[in-house]
Chain A
Amino acid sequence: MNWFLGTSAGAMCASVFYPVIRYLVPPDIPEAQTSQMVAGRDGDLKPNEGKVFAFGGQPALLIRDEDGGYQALSATCTHLNCTVQYRGDLKQIWCACHNGFYDRNGKNISGPPPRPLDSYKVHVVDGDVVVSKS
């Protein structure tokens, strides 16, 4: 008898809580897999300048070198997810959240970040700066 009541009560709780827990976690919305995009026109950025742009729903960083070449990296700090910025005065990438530094290739050089930033490929095609994930 007790066993019967206990099992029914348990089943009832489960049938109430399971949908609620599932409801709380949002569904996976498959991100439009952007693997390549135009980040701007060649010449928009001055040498030794950087900008953050949206790349497949995530922030990415485009840097122009002094000699006109480009560098593209993920702009999401590997420490705790802040968005980094390029500091022309230091020729380094800086995260304001906990003072983390990366070099221009995305290698973590000081502060708390534990890993380098992911880097992307950049090509200039007909004056467009095209960024692509390998």
Chain B
Amino acid sequence: MTTRERLAAVQEWVEVRVGISQLIEMGREKKVPLHRHSFWYYMGGMTLFLFGIQVGTGILLLLYYRPSSGEAFESVQFLMTRVPFGWLIRSIHSWSANLLVFVLFLHMFSAFFLKAFRKPRELTWLTGAVLLALMMGFGFSGYLLPWNTLAFFATQVGTEVAGRVPVVGEFALRLLRGGDQVTGATLTRFYGIHVAILPALTTVILGAHLLFVQKHGMSVPPQVEADAERAGKPLGSYPFLPNFLLRDAIGWCAALGVLAGLAALFPWELGEKADPFASAPAGIRPEWYFGWMFQTLKMLPPHILGFEGEVLGILAITLGFIIWFAVPFLDRTPRPGNRVTRAFAVGGWLALLYMAVATAMVYWPQ
């Protein structure tokens, strides 16, 4: 047999058992609509790519990281200073986490403004919203793992916020902290959450999200549909394989370049080891994507109408998230000109504006 024949035989063996050509055929038949908002279709794939980077670098970090208050900081320090390329792996994990959340926001807000949540894609939206919560959970739990001062107080405040929710608060607080205070028990717990519980949940929810996307195909914004109808021209499209995937891949290569650049030029800092009996130092703040909530809690007065300000703030933010999850069930027939639809569009822009201004205030020099 020549090499070529041998290869063909192997291919045949695999084909009979796996059926790759069926998948390829599916990819070729899957069409991605082409119009002026098509750019946003790349954001989901980008988020997926960055999540893959998180899994890869996260697994590498696991090999050196030690989840206890006596060793965590030292193990990350060792990783940064002694392990060859340890600084690179950790910096990429941290930078990519931030980029992931940013791209996830773009993906989510584009789905919101382009009405991609409308029937029959309600569950696609809902699983996406759960993925947002999971990613915020990843960010919050990962932040504590190096056991530095900044992370310690961010966790103290963040878990206290959960503790102030009426009725379930106290239970949630002890569940999260593994006790009444933030201690080594909290660190061990956050570690378990970060590397086992959240990855397991994410695998399931992400699988469902992708399944729904595949089942329904890409949504075309109602405005674009209406315009095409008026012009009497059907919308163009191109195949997922190879056109769309190749363009996706260009984006991923660019993202990898950006990550490598950020990690090399701005290696992630470690700060100082947490001391539970030291005062919170100046400059305490959470990761940027929690900034608008942080700023809200900072600006609220101590008392509003006899209630403690922060409790009302926490309730308002919770209500905001509930509305956000329920968007497809509230804005049910998005058509250009529909009153509810317009209200949601305006509300979305206002929310985005508020988040942007509040986040900017966190970083504004005082």
Contact = CB atoms under 8 A, between A and B. Distances in A.
Contacts of A75: 279
B276 to A, nearest CB: 7
B310 A83 contact: no
Interface in B142-158: 153, 156-157
A85 B310 contact: no
B302 A114 contact: yes
Nearest to B179: A26
A83 B282 CA distance: 11
A117 interface: no
Contact of B161 (A54, A80, A84, A112): A80
A12 interface: no
A97 B301 contact: no
Interface hub of B157, B174, B279 (most chain A Cβ within 10 A)? B279
* Secondary structure of the A contact surface, majority rule: loop
B: contact size bracket: 20 to 34
A108 B284 contact: no
A79 interface: yes
A59 B278 CA distance: 8
B308 interface: yes
B330 to A, nearest CB: 31
Interface of A: 24-26, 29, 52-54, 57-59, 75, 79-85, 95-99, 108, 111-114
Contact of A97 (B171, B284, B302): B284
Contact of A114 (B276, B283, B284, B310): B310
Contacts of B280: 82-85, 95-97
Contacts of B276: 54, 59
Contacts of B279: 52, 59, 75, 83-85, 96
B277 A112 contact: no
Interface of B: 153, 156-157, 160-161, 164, 171, 174-175, 178-179, 181, 185, 276-284, 294, 297-298, 300-303, 308-310
Contacts of B294: 98
Contacts of B309: 112, 114
Contacts of B298: 98-99, 111-112
A71 to B, nearest CB: 15
Nearest to A79: B310
A24 B175 contact: yes
A47 B301 CA distance: 33
Given A25-B171, A96-B279, A96-B281, 20 more contacts: A25-B174, A29-B179, A54-B277, A79-B302, A80-B161, A80-B310, A82-B153, A82-B157, A82-B284, A83-B153, A85-B280, A96-B280, A98-B298, A112-B300, A112-B301, A112-B302, A112-B310, A114-B308, A114-B309, A114-B310
A18 B300 CA distance: 39
A80 B284 contact: no
Contacts of A112: 297-298, 300-302, 309-310
B277 A59 contact: yes
Contacts of B283: 96
A97 B298 CA distance: 8
Contacts of A98: 294, 297-298
Contacts of A54: 276-277
B175 A96 contact: no
A52 B153 CA distance: 15
Nearest to A86: B279
B337 to A, nearest CB: 43
Interface hub of A54, A113, A114 (most chain B Cβ within 10 A)? A114
A80 B181 contact: no
Contacts of B310: 79-80, 112, 114
A31 B157 CA distance: 22
Nearest to B189: A26
10 shortest A-B CB distances, which residue pairs?
Answer: A85-B279, A98-B298, A81-B160, A114-B302, A82-B280, A96-B280, A80-B160, A114-B308, A80-B157, A54-B277
